[in-house]
Amino acid sequence: MQLYNSMTRKKEEFKPIHEGKVGIYACGPTVYNYFHIGNARPFIVFDVLRRYFEYRGYQVTFVQNFTDIDDKMIRRAAEENTTVDEIAKRYIAEYYVDAKALDIRPATVHPRATEHIPQIIALIEKLIANGLAYESRGDVYYRVKAFPNYGCLCGQNLEDLESGARVNVDEQKEDPLDFALWKAQKPGEPAWESPWGMGRPGWHIECSAMSTTYLGDTFDIHCGGKDLLFPHHENEIAQTSGATGKPYVNYWLHNGFINIDNEKMSKSKGNFFTVRDIAKEFDLEAVRMFMLSAHYRSPINFSREMIEQAQSSLERLYTARDQLNFLAQGAQKREPNEAEGAFMAACDKSEADFNTAMDDDMNTADALAAIFELVREVHKLPLSSASEKAVAYGQQKLSALTAVLGLLNRKADGVSQDVQALVDERAQARANKDWKRSDELRDQIKAMGYTLEDTSAGQKVRKVV
RNA sequence: GCACAGGUGGCAGAGUGGUUGAAUGCAUGGGACUGCAAAUCUCAUUCACGAAAGUGACGCAUCAGUUCGAAUCUGAUCCUGUGCUCCA
Protein backbone atom coordinates (compact mmCIF):
# COMPACT_ATOMS: atom_id res chain seq x y z
CA MET A 1 0.00 0.00 0.00
CA GLN A 2 1.26 3.43 -0.96
CA LEU A 3 0.64 6.38 1.33
CA TYR A 4 1.47 10.01 0.70
CA ASN A 5 3.76 11.08 3.50
CA SER A 6 3.63 14.79 4.23
CA MET A 7 7.10 14.55 5.72
CA THR A 8 8.78 13.43 2.51
CA ARG A 9 6.09 14.83 0.19
CA LYS A 10 5.91 11.62 -1.76
CA LYS A 11 3.96 8.43 -1.87
CA GLU A 12 5.77 5.70 0.00
CA GLU A 13 5.21 2.00 0.39
CA PHE A 14 3.66 1.40 3.80
CA LYS A 15 5.74 -0.84 6.05
CA PRO A 16 4.40 -1.44 9.54
CA ILE A 17 6.72 -1.42 12.52
CA HIS A 18 5.26 -4.69 13.73
CA GLU A 19 4.24 -7.23 11.11
CA GLY A 20 0.46 -7.39 10.77
CA LYS A 21 -0.18 -4.48 13.11
CA VAL A 22 -0.61 -0.78 12.64
CA GLY A 23 -0.80 2.06 15.14
CA ILE A 24 -2.64 5.22 14.10
CA TYR A 25 -3.08 8.48 15.97
CA ALA A 26 -5.59 11.00 14.72
CA CYS A 27 -5.98 14.46 16.17
CA GLY A 28 -9.47 14.66 17.57
CA PRO A 29 -11.81 17.52 18.35
CA THR A 30 -11.60 20.23 20.96
CA VAL A 31 -14.86 19.56 22.71
CA TYR A 32 -16.30 23.02 23.15
CA ASN A 33 -19.02 22.81 20.52
CA TYR A 34 -20.75 20.50 18.05
CA PHE A 35 -18.34 19.57 15.30
CA HIS A 36 -18.79 20.96 11.80
CA ILE A 37 -18.48 19.14 8.53
CA GLY A 38 -14.94 20.42 8.10
CA ASN A 39 -14.06 18.59 11.29
CA ALA A 40 -16.00 15.60 10.03
CA ARG A 41 -13.75 15.10 7.03
CA PRO A 42 -10.70 13.74 8.85
CA PHE A 43 -12.93 11.67 11.11
CA ILE A 44 -14.51 10.05 8.09
CA VAL A 45 -11.49 9.59 5.84
CA PHE A 46 -9.26 8.25 8.58
CA ASP A 47 -12.05 6.00 9.75
CA VAL A 48 -11.92 4.59 6.23
CA LEU A 49 -8.14 4.23 6.47
CA ARG A 50 -8.58 2.23 9.62
CA ARG A 51 -11.31 0.07 8.10
CA TYR A 52 -9.17 -0.60 5.05
CA PHE A 53 -6.25 -1.78 7.15
CA GLU A 54 -8.58 -4.11 9.03
CA TYR A 55 -10.07 -5.37 5.78
CA ARG A 56 -6.52 -6.13 4.67
CA GLY A 57 -6.01 -8.18 7.81
CA TYR A 58 -4.10 -5.76 10.01
CA GLN A 59 -4.70 -5.46 13.69
CA VAL A 60 -5.24 -1.74 14.11
CA THR A 61 -4.85 0.38 17.21
CA PHE A 62 -6.61 3.61 16.41
CA VAL A 63 -6.24 6.45 18.90
CA GLN A 64 -8.19 9.67 18.65
CA ASN A 65 -8.01 12.18 21.46
CA PHE A 66 -10.36 14.73 22.93
CA THR A 67 -8.79 18.08 23.69
CA ASP A 68 -10.70 18.99 26.82
CA ILE A 69 -8.60 21.83 28.22
CA ASP A 70 -7.56 24.95 26.34
CA ASP A 71 -8.49 28.60 25.92
CA LYS A 72 -11.64 27.88 23.94
CA MET A 73 -12.86 25.41 26.55
CA ILE A 74 -12.24 27.91 29.32
CA ARG A 75 -13.97 30.70 27.46
CA ARG A 76 -16.97 28.53 26.69
CA ALA A 77 -17.29 27.44 30.29
CA ALA A 78 -17.17 31.06 31.43
CA GLU A 79 -19.82 32.05 28.86
CA GLU A 80 -22.14 29.34 30.06
CA ASN A 81 -21.29 29.86 33.69
CA THR A 82 -20.26 26.28 34.19
CA THR A 83 -17.09 24.24 34.57
CA VAL A 84 -14.68 23.21 31.85
CA ASP A 85 -15.24 19.60 32.78
CA GLU A 86 -18.98 20.03 32.34
CA ILE A 87 -18.47 21.46 28.84
CA ALA A 88 -16.12 18.62 27.99
CA LYS A 89 -18.53 15.93 29.16
CA ARG A 90 -21.39 17.46 27.23
CA TYR A 91 -19.61 17.81 23.91
CA ILE A 92 -17.87 14.48 24.14
CA ALA A 93 -21.32 12.94 24.43
CA GLU A 94 -22.46 15.01 21.46
CA TYR A 95 -19.41 13.92 19.48
CA TYR A 96 -20.47 10.32 19.83
CA VAL A 97 -23.99 11.15 18.68
CA ASP A 98 -22.80 12.80 15.46
CA ALA A 99 -20.02 10.30 14.85
CA LYS A 100 -22.50 7.45 15.06
CA ALA A 101 -24.84 9.20 12.66
CA LEU A 102 -21.95 9.47 10.19
CA ASP A 103 -21.01 5.82 10.78
CA ILE A 104 -17.65 6.80 12.19
CA ARG A 105 -16.61 3.92 14.38
CA PRO A 106 -15.38 4.63 17.90
CA ALA A 107 -11.60 4.58 18.10
CA THR A 108 -9.78 1.85 19.97
CA VAL A 109 -9.04 4.50 22.57
CA HIS A 110 -10.41 8.03 22.98
CA PRO A 111 -8.05 9.56 25.55
CA ARG A 112 -8.81 12.88 27.20
CA ALA A 113 -5.99 15.36 27.79
CA THR A 114 -6.98 16.06 31.38
CA GLU A 115 -6.73 12.38 32.21
CA HIS A 116 -3.08 12.31 31.13
CA ILE A 117 -1.59 15.10 33.21
CA PRO A 118 1.07 12.84 34.84
CA GLN A 119 2.29 11.67 31.42
CA ILE A 120 2.38 15.26 30.19
CA ILE A 121 4.38 16.39 33.20
CA ALA A 122 6.81 13.50 32.82
CA LEU A 123 7.38 14.42 29.19
CA ILE A 124 8.05 18.06 30.04
CA GLU A 125 10.47 17.06 32.77
CA LYS A 126 12.37 14.95 30.30
CA LEU A 127 12.56 17.87 27.87
CA ILE A 128 13.89 20.15 30.58
CA ALA A 129 16.48 17.52 31.49
CA ASN A 130 17.49 17.31 27.84
CA GLY A 131 17.97 21.08 27.68
CA LEU A 132 15.07 21.49 25.27
CA ALA A 133 12.72 23.30 27.62
CA TYR A 134 12.91 25.91 30.34
CA GLU A 135 10.73 27.23 33.10
CA SER A 136 9.86 30.89 33.21
CA ARG A 137 7.70 32.24 36.01
CA GLY A 138 5.51 29.17 36.22
CA ASP A 139 5.31 28.67 32.45
CA VAL A 140 7.42 26.13 30.63
CA TYR A 141 8.53 26.76 27.06
CA TYR A 142 10.10 24.65 24.37
CA ARG A 143 13.51 25.89 23.24
CA VAL A 144 12.94 25.61 19.51
CA LYS A 145 16.44 26.55 18.39
CA ALA A 146 17.90 23.74 20.46
CA PHE A 147 16.11 21.13 18.34
CA PRO A 148 18.04 20.88 15.08
CA ASN A 149 15.28 19.24 13.05
CA TYR A 150 12.69 21.90 13.73
CA GLY A 151 10.90 22.65 10.48
CA CYS A 152 11.42 19.18 9.00
CA LEU A 153 7.71 18.53 8.57
CA CYS A 154 6.49 21.89 7.33
CA GLY A 155 9.51 22.34 5.07
CA GLN A 156 10.42 25.80 6.23
CA ASN A 157 13.68 26.87 7.73
CA LEU A 158 14.06 28.67 11.02
CA GLU A 159 14.70 32.06 9.41
CA ASP A 160 11.45 31.98 7.45
CA LEU A 161 9.54 30.87 10.50
CA GLU A 162 11.18 33.56 12.54
CA SER A 163 10.16 36.30 10.15
CA GLY A 164 6.56 35.14 10.42
CA ALA A 165 6.52 34.66 14.15
CA ARG A 166 4.46 37.03 16.19
CA VAL A 167 6.53 38.96 18.67
CA ASN A 168 4.86 39.92 21.90
CA VAL A 169 6.71 42.50 23.92
CA ASP A 170 5.48 41.05 27.11
CA GLU A 171 6.64 37.48 26.40
CA GLN A 172 8.58 35.54 28.93
CA LYS A 173 10.15 33.47 26.18
CA GLU A 174 13.81 33.31 25.27
CA ASP A 175 12.86 33.39 21.62
CA PRO A 176 9.69 34.28 19.70
CA LEU A 177 9.60 30.79 18.13
CA ASP A 178 9.40 29.06 21.50
CA PHE A 179 6.02 27.67 22.38
CA ALA A 180 4.31 26.84 25.66
CA LEU A 181 4.42 23.35 27.12
CA TRP A 182 2.88 24.32 30.44
CA LYS A 183 0.92 27.43 31.33
CA ALA A 184 0.84 28.86 34.83
CA GLN A 185 -2.62 29.17 36.31
CA LYS A 186 -4.48 32.41 35.82
CA PRO A 187 -7.25 33.38 38.24
CA GLY A 188 -10.34 31.27 37.81
CA GLU A 189 -8.76 28.75 35.45
CA PRO A 190 -8.69 25.03 36.12
CA ALA A 191 -5.24 23.88 37.14
CA TRP A 192 -3.19 20.87 38.14
CA GLU A 193 -0.21 20.55 40.43
CA SER A 194 3.17 20.38 38.78
CA PRO A 195 6.85 20.88 39.61
CA TRP A 196 6.39 24.44 38.27
CA GLY A 197 3.34 25.24 40.37
CA MET A 198 -0.33 25.10 39.53
CA GLY A 199 -1.06 25.23 35.83
CA ARG A 200 -2.31 23.43 32.74
CA PRO A 201 -0.74 21.81 29.70
CA GLY A 202 -0.16 23.62 26.42
CA TRP A 203 -2.05 22.39 23.41
CA HIS A 204 0.72 20.57 21.55
CA ILE A 205 2.15 18.53 24.40
CA GLU A 206 -1.06 16.62 25.07
CA CYS A 207 -0.92 14.84 21.71
CA SER A 208 2.70 13.83 22.27
CA ALA A 209 1.82 12.43 25.67
CA MET A 210 -1.31 10.58 24.64
CA SER A 211 -0.01 9.15 21.38
CA THR A 212 3.11 7.69 22.96
CA THR A 213 1.14 6.40 25.95
CA TYR A 214 -1.00 4.21 23.72
CA LEU A 215 1.20 3.61 20.70
CA GLY A 216 4.77 3.73 21.95
CA ASP A 217 7.61 6.19 21.37
CA THR A 218 7.63 5.51 17.64
CA PHE A 219 4.49 4.52 15.78
CA ASP A 220 3.22 4.05 12.26
CA ILE A 221 0.77 6.74 11.22
CA HIS A 222 -0.22 10.15 12.49
CA CYS A 223 -3.03 11.95 10.74
CA GLY A 224 -5.00 15.15 10.90
CA GLY A 225 -6.07 18.17 8.92
CA LYS A 226 -3.61 20.03 6.72
CA ASP A 227 -3.76 23.08 8.93
CA LEU A 228 -2.27 21.11 11.80
CA LEU A 229 0.93 20.52 9.90
CA PHE A 230 2.32 23.69 11.37
CA PRO A 231 2.73 24.37 14.15
CA HIS A 232 0.90 21.53 15.87
CA HIS A 233 2.50 18.51 14.27
CA GLU A 234 5.87 20.15 13.90
CA ASN A 235 5.80 20.79 17.63
CA GLU A 236 4.73 17.24 18.39
CA ILE A 237 7.82 15.98 16.61
CA ALA A 238 10.05 18.38 18.48
CA GLN A 239 8.51 17.39 21.80
CA THR A 240 8.42 13.66 21.35
CA SER A 241 11.66 13.06 19.52
CA GLY A 242 13.29 15.65 21.76
CA ALA A 243 12.26 13.66 24.82
CA THR A 244 12.79 10.12 23.56
CA GLY A 245 15.67 10.63 21.15
CA LYS A 246 13.81 8.35 18.73
CA PRO A 247 11.87 9.00 15.55
CA TYR A 248 8.27 9.86 16.38
CA VAL A 249 6.08 8.86 13.45
CA ASN A 250 6.80 7.01 10.21
CA TYR A 251 3.96 8.33 8.04
CA TRP A 252 2.21 11.70 8.30
CA LEU A 253 -1.16 11.93 6.58
CA HIS A 254 -3.04 15.17 6.13
CA ASN A 255 -6.48 15.69 4.67
CA GLY A 256 -7.51 18.68 2.54
CA PHE A 257 -10.11 21.21 3.50
CA ILE A 258 -13.76 21.59 2.85
CA ASN A 259 -14.54 24.94 1.31
CA ILE A 260 -17.67 27.01 1.15
CA ASP A 261 -17.70 29.15 -1.96
CA ASN A 262 -14.04 28.25 -2.44
CA GLU A 263 -13.13 29.54 0.97
CA LYS A 264 -11.96 27.45 3.85
CA MET A 265 -14.72 26.57 6.26
CA SER A 266 -13.68 27.33 9.79
CA LYS A 267 -15.10 28.19 13.12
CA SER A 268 -13.16 31.44 13.20
CA LYS A 269 -14.63 32.58 9.88
CA GLY A 270 -18.12 31.67 10.94
CA ASN A 271 -18.94 30.12 7.55
CA PHE A 272 -19.46 26.64 8.86
CA PHE A 273 -22.21 24.06 9.05
CA THR A 274 -22.35 21.72 11.98
CA VAL A 275 -23.10 18.09 11.36
CA ARG A 276 -26.13 18.59 13.54
CA ASP A 277 -27.47 21.25 11.17
CA ILE A 278 -26.89 19.15 8.08
CA ALA A 279 -28.66 16.19 9.66
CA LYS A 280 -31.88 18.18 9.77
CA GLU A 281 -31.90 18.37 6.01
CA PHE A 282 -29.97 15.40 4.70
CA ASP A 283 -29.29 11.77 5.26
CA LEU A 284 -25.81 11.87 6.77
CA GLU A 285 -24.77 8.83 4.80
CA ALA A 286 -24.92 11.14 1.78
CA VAL A 287 -22.45 13.40 3.53
CA ARG A 288 -20.15 10.45 3.97
CA MET A 289 -20.58 9.56 0.30
CA PHE A 290 -19.78 13.15 -0.62
CA MET A 291 -16.55 13.09 1.41
CA LEU A 292 -15.41 9.86 -0.21
CA SER A 293 -16.21 10.94 -3.76
CA ALA A 294 -12.97 12.95 -3.85
CA HIS A 295 -9.45 12.09 -2.83
CA TYR A 296 -8.85 12.87 0.84
CA ARG A 297 -6.01 15.29 0.11
CA SER A 298 -7.97 17.36 -2.43
CA PRO A 299 -9.97 20.34 -1.37
CA ILE A 300 -13.71 19.90 -1.84
CA ASN A 301 -16.42 22.46 -2.10
CA PHE A 302 -19.46 21.90 0.05
CA SER A 303 -22.88 22.79 -1.26
CA ARG A 304 -26.42 21.55 -1.10
CA GLU A 305 -26.18 20.44 -4.75
CA MET A 306 -23.15 18.29 -4.00
CA ILE A 307 -24.90 16.51 -1.15
CA GLU A 308 -27.93 15.90 -3.34
CA GLN A 309 -25.68 14.48 -6.03
CA ALA A 310 -24.06 12.20 -3.46
CA GLN A 311 -27.48 11.14 -2.25
CA SER A 312 -28.48 10.11 -5.77
CA SER A 313 -25.40 8.02 -6.33
CA LEU A 314 -25.84 6.44 -2.93
CA GLU A 315 -29.35 5.39 -3.93
CA ARG A 316 -27.86 3.56 -6.86
CA LEU A 317 -25.84 1.46 -4.45
CA TYR A 318 -28.91 0.66 -2.40
CA THR A 319 -30.88 -0.27 -5.50
CA ALA A 320 -28.20 -2.79 -6.37
CA ARG A 321 -28.22 -4.26 -2.89
CA ASP A 322 -32.00 -4.59 -2.98
CA GLN A 323 -31.80 -6.12 -6.42
CA LEU A 324 -29.53 -8.85 -5.08
CA ASN A 325 -31.89 -9.47 -2.20
CA PHE A 326 -34.75 -9.75 -4.68
CA LEU A 327 -32.79 -12.21 -6.78
CA ALA A 328 -31.97 -14.23 -3.68
CA GLN A 329 -35.68 -14.76 -3.00
CA GLY A 330 -36.17 -16.68 -6.21
CA ALA A 331 -32.72 -18.23 -6.37
CA GLN A 332 -32.12 -21.90 -6.93
CA LYS A 333 -29.69 -24.39 -5.48
CA ARG A 334 -27.59 -25.08 -8.52
CA GLU A 335 -24.16 -24.35 -9.84
CA PRO A 336 -23.74 -20.96 -11.60
CA ASN A 337 -24.19 -21.07 -15.36
CA GLU A 338 -21.87 -19.42 -17.82
CA ALA A 339 -23.34 -15.93 -17.51
CA GLU A 340 -23.29 -16.18 -13.75
CA GLY A 341 -19.72 -17.36 -13.86
CA ALA A 342 -18.90 -14.21 -15.81
CA PHE A 343 -20.76 -12.20 -13.19
CA MET A 344 -18.66 -13.74 -10.45
CA ALA A 345 -15.51 -12.97 -12.42
CA ALA A 346 -16.71 -9.37 -12.74
CA CYS A 347 -17.14 -9.29 -8.97
CA ASP A 348 -13.55 -10.41 -8.58
CA LYS A 349 -12.45 -7.74 -11.04
CA SER A 350 -14.25 -5.06 -9.05
CA GLU A 351 -12.70 -6.26 -5.87
CA ALA A 352 -9.23 -6.21 -7.42
CA ASP A 353 -9.79 -2.72 -8.85
CA PHE A 354 -11.09 -1.56 -5.52
CA ASN A 355 -7.99 -2.84 -3.74
CA THR A 356 -5.70 -1.28 -6.32
CA ALA A 357 -7.41 2.08 -5.88
CA MET A 358 -7.27 1.92 -2.11
CA ASP A 359 -3.66 0.80 -2.17
CA ASP A 360 -2.86 3.95 -4.11
CA ASP A 361 -2.93 6.40 -1.22
CA MET A 362 -6.53 5.57 -0.41
CA ASN A 363 -8.10 6.71 -3.66
CA THR A 364 -11.71 6.41 -2.57
CA ALA A 365 -13.03 8.07 -5.73
CA ASP A 366 -11.54 5.30 -7.86
CA ALA A 367 -12.59 2.71 -5.31
CA LEU A 368 -16.19 3.88 -5.65
CA ALA A 369 -15.89 3.65 -9.42
CA ALA A 370 -14.90 -0.01 -8.99
CA ILE A 371 -17.98 -0.61 -6.86
CA PHE A 372 -20.20 0.97 -9.49
CA GLU A 373 -18.79 -1.40 -12.10
CA LEU A 374 -20.03 -4.20 -9.88
CA VAL A 375 -23.41 -2.49 -9.53
CA ARG A 376 -23.91 -2.50 -13.27
CA GLU A 377 -23.17 -6.21 -13.47
CA VAL A 378 -25.70 -6.90 -10.74
CA HIS A 379 -28.44 -5.30 -12.81
CA LYS A 380 -27.53 -7.30 -15.87
CA LEU A 381 -28.29 -10.61 -14.15
CA PRO A 382 -31.50 -12.27 -15.34
CA LEU A 383 -34.35 -11.69 -12.92
CA SER A 384 -35.57 -15.19 -12.29
CA SER A 385 -34.07 -18.50 -11.29
CA ALA A 386 -30.63 -17.21 -10.42
CA SER A 387 -28.07 -19.48 -8.86
CA GLU A 388 -27.98 -19.02 -5.10
CA LYS A 389 -24.26 -19.31 -5.17
CA ALA A 390 -23.79 -16.51 -7.70
CA VAL A 391 -26.18 -14.17 -5.91
CA ALA A 392 -24.55 -14.82 -2.55
CA TYR A 393 -21.18 -14.15 -4.13
CA GLY A 394 -22.34 -10.77 -5.39
CA GLN A 395 -23.90 -9.92 -2.05
CA GLN A 396 -20.74 -10.81 -0.21
CA LYS A 397 -18.52 -8.70 -2.46
CA LEU A 398 -20.82 -5.70 -2.50
CA SER A 399 -21.21 -5.65 1.24
CA ALA A 400 -17.52 -6.25 1.92
CA LEU A 401 -16.39 -3.40 -0.33
CA THR A 402 -19.00 -0.90 0.80
CA ALA A 403 -18.28 -1.78 4.42
CA VAL A 404 -14.69 -0.62 3.96
CA LEU A 405 -16.04 2.78 3.00
CA GLY A 406 -18.63 2.62 5.77
CA LEU A 407 -21.51 2.80 3.30
CA LEU A 408 -24.72 0.84 2.81
CA ASN A 409 -25.55 0.67 6.49
CA ARG A 410 -29.26 1.15 6.14
CA LYS A 411 -31.14 -2.02 6.97
CA ALA A 412 -32.98 -3.87 4.27
CA ASP A 413 -36.39 -3.70 5.88
CA GLY A 414 -38.90 -6.44 5.34
CA VAL A 415 -42.42 -5.69 4.25
CA SER A 416 -45.11 -5.48 6.90
CA GLN A 417 -48.20 -7.70 6.67
CA ASP A 418 -50.61 -4.93 5.75
CA VAL A 419 -48.37 -3.80 2.90
CA GLN A 420 -47.92 -7.38 1.76
CA ALA A 421 -51.70 -7.78 1.66
CA LEU A 422 -51.96 -4.83 -0.72
CA VAL A 423 -49.14 -6.20 -2.84
CA ASP A 424 -50.92 -9.54 -3.11
CA GLU A 425 -54.19 -7.85 -3.99
CA ARG A 426 -52.42 -5.88 -6.69
CA ALA A 427 -50.95 -9.05 -8.15
CA GLN A 428 -54.49 -10.34 -8.49
CA ALA A 429 -55.71 -7.09 -10.05
CA ARG A 430 -52.86 -7.21 -12.58
CA ALA A 431 -53.69 -10.78 -13.45
CA ASN A 432 -57.22 -9.56 -14.18
CA LYS A 433 -55.80 -6.62 -16.13
CA ASP A 434 -57.64 -4.29 -13.78
CA TRP A 435 -55.17 -1.44 -14.31
CA LYS A 436 -57.24 1.11 -12.47
CA ARG A 437 -57.31 -0.90 -9.26
CA SER A 438 -53.70 -1.86 -9.78
CA ASP A 439 -52.60 1.78 -9.97
CA GLU A 440 -54.69 2.70 -6.93
CA LEU A 441 -52.98 0.02 -4.93
CA ARG A 442 -49.58 1.14 -6.12
CA ASP A 443 -50.37 4.66 -4.93
CA GLN A 444 -51.55 3.35 -1.59
CA ILE A 445 -48.39 1.34 -1.13
CA LYS A 446 -46.36 4.38 -2.05
CA ALA A 447 -48.19 6.44 0.55
CA MET A 448 -47.15 3.84 3.11
CA GLY A 449 -43.50 4.48 2.30
CA TYR A 450 -42.68 1.84 -0.26
CA THR A 451 -41.97 1.82 -3.96
CA LEU A 452 -43.38 -0.98 -5.97
CA GLU A 453 -41.87 -2.06 -9.25
CA ASP A 454 -43.13 -4.59 -11.73
CA THR A 455 -40.55 -6.96 -13.10
CA SER A 456 -40.71 -10.02 -15.28
CA ALA A 457 -40.19 -12.01 -12.08
CA GLY A 458 -43.03 -10.39 -10.18
CA GLN A 459 -43.51 -7.32 -8.06
CA LYS A 460 -40.56 -5.83 -6.22
CA VAL A 461 -41.19 -3.80 -3.08
CA ARG A 462 -38.62 -1.46 -1.56
CA LYS A 463 -38.79 0.78 1.40
CA VAL A 464 -38.30 4.46 0.61
CA VAL A 465 -36.08 6.49 2.88
C1' G B 1 7.05 38.38 0.92
C1' C B 2 8.33 33.05 1.92
C1' A B 3 6.34 27.91 1.63
C1' C B 4 2.83 24.24 -0.27
C1' A B 5 -1.31 22.55 -3.23
C1' G B 6 -4.23 23.03 -7.44
C1' G B 7 -6.70 24.79 -12.32
C1' U B 8 -9.83 18.28 -16.46
C1' G B 9 -16.41 17.65 -20.28
C1' G B 10 -23.36 20.61 -18.29
C1' C B 11 -21.87 19.45 -12.71
C1' A B 12 -18.66 16.56 -9.35
C1' G B 13 -14.32 13.96 -9.95
C1' A B 14 -10.46 9.98 -11.41
C1' G B 15 -6.46 9.72 -14.78
C1' U B 16 -0.54 11.87 -14.96
C1' G B 17 3.62 10.01 -22.00
C1' G B 18 1.22 5.73 -26.37
C1' U B 19 -3.98 1.97 -29.65
C1' U B 20 -10.60 7.67 -31.06
C1' G B 21 -10.70 4.74 -24.81
C1' A B 22 -11.10 11.54 -20.60
C1' A B 23 -12.90 6.14 -15.70
C1' U B 24 -17.05 6.55 -12.36
C1' G B 25 -21.25 9.11 -10.44
C1' C B 26 -24.93 13.03 -11.10
C1' A B 27 -27.90 15.82 -14.64
C1' U B 28 -30.42 16.19 -19.48
C1' G B 29 -32.32 13.89 -24.04
C1' G B 30 -33.31 9.46 -27.37
C1' G B 31 -34.08 4.06 -27.59
C1' A B 32 -35.27 -0.77 -25.19
C1' C B 33 -38.28 -2.90 -21.29
C1' U B 34 -43.65 -1.77 -19.06
C1' G B 35 -50.82 -1.85 -19.64
C1' C B 36 -48.71 2.95 -17.68
C1' A B 37 -44.87 3.84 -14.44
C1' A B 38 -40.51 3.04 -11.60
C1' A B 39 -36.01 0.77 -11.55
C1' U B 40 -32.63 -1.05 -15.02
C1' C B 41 -29.99 -1.64 -19.63
C1' U B 42 -28.30 1.11 -23.92
C1' C B 43 -26.84 5.37 -26.90
C1' A B 44 -25.99 10.52 -26.94
C1' U B 45 -24.75 15.42 -24.59
C1' U B 46 -17.01 20.57 -27.62
C1' C B 47 -17.59 22.89 -32.56
C1' A B 48 -18.70 22.86 -38.07
C1' C B 49 -21.41 20.43 -42.29
C1' G B 50 -25.44 16.77 -42.39
C1' A B 51 -32.31 14.45 -41.39
C1' A B 52 -29.07 10.42 -40.29
C1' A B 53 -25.16 6.99 -40.49
C1' G B 54 -20.95 9.93 -41.00
C1' U B 55 -16.87 13.43 -42.14
C1' G B 56 -13.63 17.11 -40.44
C1' A B 57 -11.61 20.33 -36.68
C1' C B 58 -10.56 21.56 -31.81
C1' G B 59 -9.88 19.81 -27.02
C1' C B 60 -8.02 18.67 -20.06
C1' A B 61 -6.30 27.50 -17.47
C1' U B 62 -3.09 30.45 -21.35
C1' C B 63 1.31 30.71 -24.39
C1' A B 64 5.72 28.50 -25.94
C1' G B 65 8.82 24.14 -25.92
C1' U B 66 10.63 18.76 -25.54
C1' U B 67 8.86 14.20 -28.18
C1' C B 68 7.44 9.92 -33.59
C1' G B 69 3.47 10.89 -29.87
C1' A B 70 1.29 15.26 -24.16
C1' A B 71 -4.39 16.35 -20.21
C1' U B 72 0.11 13.72 -18.58
C1' C B 73 7.19 16.20 -19.14
C1' U B 74 9.81 21.46 -19.28
C1' G B 75 9.58 26.90 -19.05
C1' A B 76 6.86 31.33 -18.69
C1' U B 77 2.19 33.71 -17.70
C1' C B 78 -2.65 34.21 -15.48
C1' C B 79 -5.95 32.61 -11.72
C1' U B 80 -7.59 30.06 -7.10
C1' G B 81 -6.91 27.96 -2.34
C1' U B 82 -4.00 26.93 2.05
C1' G B 83 0.15 27.55 5.73
C1' C B 84 3.65 31.16 8.04
C1' U B 85 -1.58 33.22 13.80
C1' C B 86 -6.40 29.54 17.62
C1' C B 87 -8.48 26.33 13.60
C1' A B 88 -9.68 19.40 10.76
**HEC sequence for chain A:** CEEEECCCCEEEECCCCCCCEEEEEECCCECCCCCEHHHHHHHHHHHHHHHHHHHCCCEEEEEECEECCCHHHHHHHHHCCCCHHHHHHHHHHHHHHHHHHCCCCCCCECCEHHHHHHHHHHHHHHHHHCCCEEEECCEEEECHHHCCCCCCCCCCCHHHHHHHCCCCCCCCCCCCCCCEEEEECCCCCCCECCCCCCEEECHHHHHHHHHHHHHCCCEEEEEEEHHHHHHHHHHHHHHHHHHHCCCCEEEEEEECCEEECCEECCCCCCCCCEHHHHHHHCCHHHHHHHHHCCCCCCCEECCHHHHHHHHHHHHHHHHHHHHHHHHHHCCECCCCCHHHHHHHHHHHHHHHHHHHHHHECCCHHHHHHHHHHHHHHHHHCCCCCCEHHHHHHHHHHHHHHHHHHCCCCCCCCCCCHHHHHHHHHHHHHHHCCCHHHHHHHHHHHHHCCEEEEEECCEEEEEECC
Reply yes or no on whether the pLDDT at A211 is more than 90.
yes
User: Which residue minimizes Cα–C1' distance to B3?
Assistant: A156
* Closest nt to residue A72, judged CA to C1': B86
CA–C1' A256–B80 (A): 15
Q: Is the CB of A295 under 7 A from strand B?
A: yes
- ipTM of the complex as predicted: 0.89
Considering only residues 88-117 of chain A, list those whose CB is below 7 Å from strand B: none
Lowest mean pLDDT among A122-136, A186-200, A244-258, A262-276: A262-276
Question: How much is the pLDDT for A171?
Answer: 66
Q: Give the CA distances from residue A185 to residues A71, A73, A135, A140, A196, in Å, rounded to whole numbers and listed in that order.
A: 12, 15, 14, 12, 10
What pTM, to 2 d.p., does this model score? Answer: 0.93
Question: How much is the pLDDT for A185?
Answer: 93
CA–C1' A390–B42 (A): 24
pLDDT band at A350 (very low <50, low <70, confident <90, very high): very high
Instruction: Return positions of chain B under 7 A from a protein CB.
Output: 1-6, 11-15, 23-27, 33-42, 80-88
pLDDT band at A164 (very low <50, low <70, confident <90, very high): low
Task: Tell me what the mean pLDDT of segment A38-66 comes to.
Answer: 96
CA A133/CA A123 separation, integer angstroms: 10
Reply yes or no on whether the pLDDT at A51 is more than 90.
yes
CA–C1' A65–B72 (A): 41
pLDDT band at A68 (very low <50, low <70, confident <90, very high): very high
Task: Tell me what the mean pLDDT of segment A92-99 comes to.
Answer: 96
Reply yes or no on whether the pLDDT at A440 is more than 70.
yes
Reply yes or no on whether the pLDDT at A221 is more than 90.
yes
pLDDT band at A153 (very low <50, low <70, confident <90, very high): confident
Reply yes or no on whether the pLDDT at A209 is more than 90.
yes
Question: How much is the pLDDT for A191?
Answer: 95
pLDDT band at A167 (very low <50, low <70, confident <90, very high): low
Reply yes or no on whether the pLDDT at A166 is more than 60.
no
Question: How much is the pLDDT for A112?
Answer: 96
Answer yes or no: are the C-beta atoms of A24 and A274 closer than 8 Å: no
Lowest mean pLDDT among A16-20, A380-384, A404-408: A380-384
Q: Is the CB of A38 under 7 A from strand B?
A: yes
Q: Give the CA distances from residue A254 to residues A46, A257, A297, A320, A413, in Å, rounded to whole numbers and listed in that order.
A: 10, 10, 7, 33, 38
* Closest nt to residue A269, judged CA to C1': B87
pLDDT band at A240 (very low <50, low <70, confident <90, very high): very high
What's the whole-number average pLDDT of chain A? 91
pLDDT band at A168 (very low <50, low <70, confident <90, very high): low
Q: Is the CB of A348 under 7 A from strand B?
A: no
pLDDT band at A463 (very low <50, low <70, confident <90, very high): confident
Q: Is the CB of A34 under 7 A from strand B?
A: no
Task: Tell me what the mean pLDDT of segment A259-267 comes to.
Answer: 75
